[in-house]
Amino acid sequence: MMGNKRRAVASGGAHSLPEEMMTEVFLRLPVKSILRFRAVCRSWNAVLSSEEFCCLHMAKVGSKSAPPNLFFTSQTAGFDATAVYSSSSSGPDDGLLFTLDGVRGGDFIHMTPAPCRGLTLLHDPFAPAYYVFNASTRAVTRLPPCHNALCVTAGLGFDARRKKYKVVRLFLGDFGDKQHIKCETYTLGGDHGDYWKPPAAGVPFRFCRAAQATISHARHNKVLPVFANGFLHWLIPPSFVVERPRAAILSFSVTDEIFSWVQSPPFEVSGVHLVELAGHLCMVRDLRHVGMLETWKLNGYGSGGWSLEHRIDLLQHISRHDVIEPEIVRVIGSVGSCGSTKRIVIATSKCKVIIYDPVSHTVETATAIRETHSSYQAEKLALSSVSLFQESLVPVHQTNKERALSVPLAKATREILLRLPADCTMRCKLRPKIMLVGKGITGRSGFSFTSCSKLLQRARRHDIWLDTKVVCSKPCHGMNLLSTELKDYLYNASTGFRLVYHTRGTESIHNVGLGFNLSTQDHTIVEMFYHVKDFKSRRYFLTCMVTECGRGTVQECSLPPLPVSDMSPAYLAGVLYWMSGPRLGECDERAIVSFDIITREFAVTPCPSCIAMWNNGSPSNAFVVELEGTLCVILADPDAEELNIWRRQHDQWHSAYTVYLEGWPGYSLGANVVVPWAIDPDGKILLNTGRKLGFYDQARHFIENLAKGRAASWLARVFFIENLYDLEEVLRVRSTEQSSRVGVCGHLHIAKYKHDLEHPISFNKSCLHESLLVQHKIPDDPLPALSGNSSACSGGEQCLERWDSLHTEIMPLVPILYEESLTSYPRKHKSWVLLDILSL
């Protein structure tokens, strides 16, 4: 009883304190205590985790006059990880902050010498991989994979306008690239997903030579760019400054993402390095031959020039052995109270740390960094793994992949897989998951989903056969979009959850895509409606509607700059991509039309030159797909029976795969449109024609398709090899089993289905949907005849007319790729309804 009473009194006393006083108390606590207090209650967690409190805490820490503290990296004893230690530690395990598993860079690790508003960037060149962490909170994130380059330099900056951290990479591209110097940025917690993107203006030509020089200089001297005043700064080597004496620094605006020059100081830029001191960019002159260091401050980016800030006498109170003999002496930052009175921290390659006090003009040795597990000792590398320690509560935004893997189920799965033998792990590798879509169960609308292993059992039921054309999207964040002429269905195929949306503009040709808004974490449906489409005059009129699935709101959007083809779009990282329709509008070349779901803006991306060229008599077809998380363009050549797959990476198109289909009648481009659906972990390409699914082995040029057999007991082995599907064989067996049955009133005879599949030219509007319309429909581009039994079309126009005549046919079952997920949407909240009403 006494304990409960004391807790009640303490709780009541705490609540009686003013909020301002509580905040002042919290601001005086160390980070470790604040992290613990976040677990006291929800209100304390909300206050102590808020952006406002983090900024106040950072300002409070910056005004304190405390001795400098550093941290450094060291390989673990097994050389399989990297440990981060505080410089105050003495023993082998004292001062351990955290461990970076799998980071094996050792002495070759590069780390920013001072935090950028509390965060530090680390580069492991062996992986290669980038990490951003907060040494105070021990929070770490590994950035998504990026282009692997031998010559690269990267820095961490802060976008003050958007309140976001950015990592900027400057590197040499692949040999033969048109643009040899490349730049990429990654925004932590950005709205556009987990990927690196180039700046809007790229690297302008006038900066390319300077950029190449800075990359080589940074790599040779093991230095990273310095962030100050909203810019990242790279020092240009003296050899280039001789050619351009007015420019000594290449700068990059983190907010505007543009490059610029910084004028030279009034001395030769030899034996110098850059550093940020008290919020200003400074250049340090190494004059140790006379026992001095000089720091020069940049007064402005216009015509402010440079001014001498400090002249440091290194031999005052410091032995010559500590400051003159080391190969490298570098100023890494400043600590203490604000303004010019901040003490300057100097580190040497002999693992000594020296402090200069600008008030008393004294120099003293602060600490020595202990020796570590090092596989390769070199003075030039000693300072690349040392950084100033700054107390900070700044959160480290994890990537989407890290957040997904941090849930308890994912952690448990990971631990289980780590304990399995290698052969079991290989058998557990994920392959594309496939289901078949049929009509909903009797008495219910919508659709039903059947696994391939149960196809023959379910296929006996005519009531699940589709009686309307259905177009299925690939899975997008756990959901699929199933579209008919009148309705769009957002489905979770794993759980059966669905949302239904009535299609607008039913009198028009309908093209729909499913995407995901990375900012609002909401699925988005983008619909295109062709109200006028005249190929002879090339006239067209289309509109675009955007539906937010979570809120159910529908808004009209701006028009795309080019007409789009009838192929379903591909989704990738917050953007939907369509192939343009070259038979409409003023442009008769193919291009890719993209739609950014967050900004709701259209853009045009050029195709590879071999795909961009189009003429009305060509039978080749082109469309866009997503494979292995990258944007790909497919060129289907029915004359050569080849699929040429081009992949876009780092703003460049590369030829990725060629699929040879000659000799595979079920996959002939003269009778089908073959869509590469996915690539499994073994590198096999999953091909979909609607009638057939098969894995294409690139090494053997072989399609793992249906094995032949006659015994009914062999059905599981006959019809399904690694989840493959063959509609024609299913219907053939069903025709044998039920030859005595005659279908009436929409339940067509099995033999008729078999006949219609073998003779698609005799189809009428009640027959099976042609294979392409399962996943994609292409009336826009020329195609050859749709059956191996029919003669080939003599021209592109005739192919199109024949293709258009089959546009209303229906497939009884539709294959669909899906993801195992629990994604769903709750019913519409009252607050959302009120917001919708107020916005009218």
Q: What tens digit of pLDDT does each residue of 587-637 get?
A: 888 899 999 888 888 999 888 888 888 777 777 888 999 988 889 999 988
- Tokens 């402010």 — which residue? 304
The per-residue pLDDT for 289 is 86
Q: Tokens standing for 529?
A: 């409606």
CA neighbours closer than 13 Å in the CB half-sphere of residue 399: 17
The per-residue pLDDT for 121 is 95
More confident residue, 310 or 840: 310
Amino acid at 403: R
The per-residue pLDDT for 386 is 86
Three-state secondary structure call for residue 215: helix
What average pLDDT does range 771-788 have in this prediction? 33
Which residues on neighbouring strands pair with residue 624, listed in sequence order? 633
Task: Pick the closest to residue 696 from 663, 732, 718, 727 (CA basis).
Answer: 663
pLDDT band at 122; cut points 50, 70, 90: very high
The per-residue pLDDT for 256 is 93
More confident residue, 252 or 353: 252
- Tokens 């000792």 — which residue? 377
Q: Work out the burial of residue 534: count CB atoms within 10 Å of its CB; fewer than 13 is exposed, 13-18 middle, 19 or more buried.
A: exposed
What average pLDDT does range 296-324 have in this prediction? 84
Q: How far apart are CA 602 and CA 695, in angstroms?
A: 35
Q: How far apart are CA 480 and CA 703, in angstroms?
A: 27
Q: How far apart are CA 332 and CA 534, in angstroms?
A: 67
Is residue 789 scored above 50 in pLDDT? Answer: no
Is residue 392 scored above 60 in pLDDT? Answer: yes
Is residue 783 scored above 80 in pLDDT? Answer: no
What average pLDDT does range 137-166 have in this prediction? 90
Is residue 274 scored above 90 in pLDDT? Answer: yes
Q: By 3-state DSSP, what share of the chain in percent is helix, strand and coil, each rounded to 5?
A: 25, 35, 45
Is residue 297 scored above 60 in pLDDT? Answer: yes
pLDDT tens for each residue of 35-58: 999 888 888 888 888 888 988 888
Domains of the chain and any CATH numbers: 18-61 (no CATH), 144-264 (no CATH), 466-818 (2.120.10)
Q: How far is CA 413 from CA 404, 407, 419, 428, in A?
A: 12, 10, 10, 11
Contact assessment for residue 298 and residue 284, using Cβ atoms and an 8 Å cutoff: no
What average pLDDT does range 130-157 have in this prediction? 90
The per-residue pLDDT for 185 is 93
H/E segment holding residue 535: none
Q: How far apart are CA 293 and CA 328, in angstroms?
A: 12
Bridge pairing between strands 120-124 and 110-111? antiparallel
More confident residue, 787 or 433: 433
More confident residue, 824 or 628: 628
pLDDT band at 169; cut points 50, 70, 90: very high
The per-residue pLDDT for 423 is 63
H/E segment holding residue 315: none
The per-residue pLDDT for 462 is 58
What average pLDDT does range 172-184 have in this prediction? 80
Full-model pTM:
0.60
Contact assessment for residue 108 and residue 381, using Cβ atoms and an 8 Å cutoff: yes
In DSSP notation, 379-415 reads HHHHGGGEEE--------PPPHHHHHHTSHHHHHHHH
Q: Tokens standing for 151?
A: 């010559």
pLDDT band at 331; cut points 50, 70, 90: very high
Sheet holding 152-159, edge to edge: 152-159, 164-172, 181-187
State the Rg of the chain over Cα: 32
Q: Work out the burial of residue 507: count CB atoms within 10 Å of its CB; fewer than 13 is exposed, 13-18 middle, 19 or more buried.
A: exposed
H/E segment holding residue 259: strand 259-263
What average pLDDT does range 516-533 have in this prediction? 85
pLDDT band at 166; cut points 50, 70, 90: very high
The per-residue pLDDT for 126 is 81
The per-residue pLDDT for 733 is 56
Contact assessment for residue 481 and residue 473, using Cβ atoms and an 8 Å cutoff: yes
pLDDT band at 88; cut points 50, 70, 90: low
The per-residue pLDDT for 89 is 53
Task: Pick the closest to residue 473 from 517, 444, 506, 516 (CA basis).
Answer: 516
pLDDT band at 651; cut points 50, 70, 90: confident
Task: Pick the closest to residue 611 from 583, 582, 640 (CA basis).
Answer: 582
Task: Pick the closest to residue 659 from 687, 624, 631 (CA basis).
Answer: 687
Task: Pick the closest to residue 330 from 276, 252, 251 (CA basis).
Answer: 276
Three-state secondary structure call for residue 252: strand
Q: How far apart are CA 185 and CA 576, in angstroms?
A: 21
What average pLDDT does range 141-156 have in this prediction? 87
Which residues on neighbouring strands pair with residue 253, listed in sequence order? 231
Q: Tokens standing for 370?
A: 């202990």
Contact assessment for residue 472 and residue 480, using Cβ atoms and an 8 Å cutoff: yes
First-residue to last-residue Cα distance in the chain: 58
| Phi, psi (deg, nearest 5) at residue 228 | -160, 140
Q: How far apart are CA 734 and CA 730, in angstroms?
A: 6
Q: How far apart are CA 593 and CA 599, in angstroms?
A: 15
- Crossing angle of the two packed helices 42-49 and 19-27, in degrees rounded to 10: 60
What average pLDDT does range 315-341 have in this prediction? 78
pLDDT tens for each residue of 359-386: 888 888 776 666 554 544 566 667 778 8
243: Cβ contacts below 8 Å, ≥ 6 apart: none
The per-residue pLDDT for 306 is 92
In the predicted model, what is the mean pLDDT of the chain? Answer: 76
Is residue 238 scored above 50 in pLDDT? Answer: yes
The per-residue pLDDT for 650 is 76
514: Cβ contacts below 8 Å, ≥ 6 apart: 473, 476, 479, 480, 481, 490, 523, 524, 525, 526, 571
38: Cβ contacts below 8 Å, ≥ 6 apart: 44, 45, 48, 49
Contact assessment for residue 253 and residue 233, using Cβ atoms and an 8 Å cutoff: no
Cβ neighbour number for residue 84 with a 10 Å cutoff: 25
Which residues on neighbouring strands pair with residue 83, listed in sequence order? 74, 99
The per-residue pLDDT for 145 is 84
User: What is the dihedral sign for C-alpha 441, 447, 450, 455?
Assistant: positive
| Phi, psi (deg, nearest 5) at residue 21 | -70, -40
pLDDT band at 702; cut points 50, 70, 90: confident
pLDDT tens for each residue of 679-691: 887 788 888 887 7
Q: How far apart are CA 467 and CA 813, in angstroms?
A: 10
- Crossing angle of the two packed helices 19-27 and 51-63, in degrees rounded to 10: 50
